[in-house]
A and B are shown apart, each in its own frame.
Chain A
Amino acid sequence: MNHRLKYLAFVPIVILALAQFFPIYVIALTSFKTPLALMEDGMSLSFVGLSLENYQKVVQEDGFLAHIWVSLLIASFATFFSIVIGSLVSFALTRFRFRGKKFLTLSILCSRMVPPVALAMPVFLLVDVLGIHDTIWGLVLAHISFILPFCIWVLLPFFVALPHDLAEAAVIDGLNSRQIFSKVYLPLALPGILVASIFCFLFSWNDFLYSLILAGSQTKTAPLAINAYMTSDRIEWGAMSASSMIVMVPIFLLSLLVQKHFAKGVPSAGIKG
């Protein structure tokens, strides 16, 4: 193919990429405009009235960082527990032989596809019964319910890929299975654990459904706080965009780290999972 044709082939794709990028660009631009400039007619895409006012308002007046902190705590705990539980079971599923293994694997892998909305009702009641309504633990528990199956799904291929003879060698060296797990396999599975942690964190961080149902005044997560800028009488577009950016930018950076795995992971979900 000659060069000119090749550049021509880029045109539709570049247009498509710009269209894909446009809503993100609009939010970024809006976040940097003064509320006054946002009120002006016909100016939503102009560069007039750029400032950091929205960010100042969101952080200093509205205390948005407190909500970030809540989200951060919940996502960290949910990720931590999911990874611990997930790597234990991944190890067992790939290194032990036992009855019902196939069934267990299948049910774990299938449970990641169950829509959380369908379980919202019983999880809500469970949290209520446990009396952890409006604490971060209620949300941590709810998040684990949909993060853990996903976590195991990401971890399993990494554990499958680790060589089998390692365990045999370790047994000969006199290590018991707990030591084999923690001293031999865990360090080797670290890249997988890192990828899975990022995924778990993203899922918990992005969650809105359970926050909406379970969070109270003490546990208002960042996505809920963003949504709160929209009330029935008005929408504070500037503050809303600024808080969205604060929530989104770290996520984008994190997702860049796993994007390669993401592109790989989804198709293998189709073929492997």
Chain B
Amino acid sequence: MALSKDFTNTIRALGNLSAELEIIKGLTFKTVIGLDRSFSTRKSASSRDLRTNATFNKGRLYLNENQVDNRLWENYFTFKKTFGKVDVNALLGYSYQSFGNSFSNIEMTNFRTSNLDLMINNYASVDVRAGNSIVPTNSGDTKDELQSYYTRVQMGISDKYLFTATVRVDGSTRFGGNNKYGVFPAFAFKWRLIDEDFIPKNIFTDLNLRLGYGITGNQEIPYFLYLPRERYADWDINNEGNLAGGGLDRVTNENRNLKWESTAQFNAAVDFGFWNNRVTGSLDYYHKTTNDLLSLTVFAQPAPAGNAFVFRNIDADIINSGVELSLNVVAVDKADFRWNVGGNMAYNKNLVKRLDGSFDTGAINGQGLTGAFAQRIAAGQPLYAFFLRNFGGFDANGNSIYPEGDRQQFSGRSPLPKVTMGLSNDFRYKNFDMNIFFTGQFGQYIYSNTENAFFTAGALAGGRNVITKVVGNGEGLLNAPDVSTRFLQKGDFVRLQNVTLGYNMNLNNKIISSLRFYLNGQNLFVITKYDGQDPEVSVNKQINGIPSAGIDYTAYPRARTFTFGVNARF
């Protein structure tokens, strides 16, 4: 018999309307209006027969309503004209976006029935007289707005030199006072070398040089943080049937100086094609510097009661630099057989520079691990650098040895991959087609909180099951499994991400113009030495809003999916 039921119902309306008008030749005006509204309700009932503290002999019903109201209005002029050898393409625009969200939640308990349908469709089955039977959990209504002014000028000279300059002025309700707006310029230059006489056309079929520099903004922080606000906290009927919460709480602390985080990026690239474009590709170097990092930080003590955290722009630089190479090779190009190989490989180096102090993150959970963490963000280290005890095996009593002391230190390991790659093979033989796609990541490490929490001799001593590698590894039953390099593993992997085999029917049919059958498999296998479920893992283990990366904690592995399909065109 079912002891719980959970219904969600969503209605969503999406709409886009645009009008375009040519004012004079070359000058057009376009306006776009977009709407995305949705309304969803959720009713989740648990029977009074369900033996949990929250439900047994009382039942629970949660009602939830959620409304999303997102709007867009964009207006822009475009201007195109050729002046002799110079092509000009200019754009001037304005856009407005709003993101509205409202919700309301209600909680009920003390039901006189265990009939789930009745609980959901006959609210009076709750025993209101029993006291603490129904509470408004809470409701809320927020709206964020973005407003942008932008212009872009593209100029092509003799089709050889292409200059682009862009300036955006973005404004957001998430920032206060004079900092609502950020100015984000970008410049790009493309030189079509292939059109130059000194490039041998017998070798190159395409050759471009690209240079670019630009600044982009980030405003991804929660709603309305720059002024101190108070709000009544959620009510809850706790497991014992008592009312909890409901107090007037400080939900934000004041920071009127909150402003846009920005990333400056320089890149230089070469696009090339050889032998009639049988080989094409590009080589791209980039250097990104992110500063004024938006982050939750501590409010220097003594601080107001309640929430002692405040969002700030941290004065630090996070640098990502690297090289990306992509290549596409047409290996075989015959009438009834074609083989195309596409690959990309990227090397990235991440470094935190110029940061005062440090931030601990990567919470490690488990018995005897209260307050434990595995990562520290500090200057001179990559983001989310692992900060661990150096594990040196077990002593005669089976206790952990830490040759460099029972203290955490930077391990020189990072959860961020150094090299990522993708390899795609496309085959076409007569009516058959096939795609085989591999992905891989190399150089990153994974901290297994799962093993730290559950797979130790101490866990075995506590009567819990462990994995085989715990048995006979020399660990004593009384050893404390502290956070150390013992639970850090290489995360390198190659995954067969996708295989598709298709067959196109030869048709001469007036009704069906094409018909294709295909068989698709996703995530078919992973080659890795990582002994957890899946090396491509990052469970959210943030501490005080500082994000973490590369920590595995009872994560579900990625699904392996097989699809058989038919595409028909009428």
Q: Do A and B come from one complex?
A: no
B contacts, CB < 8 Å to A: none
A contacts, CB < 8 Å to B: none
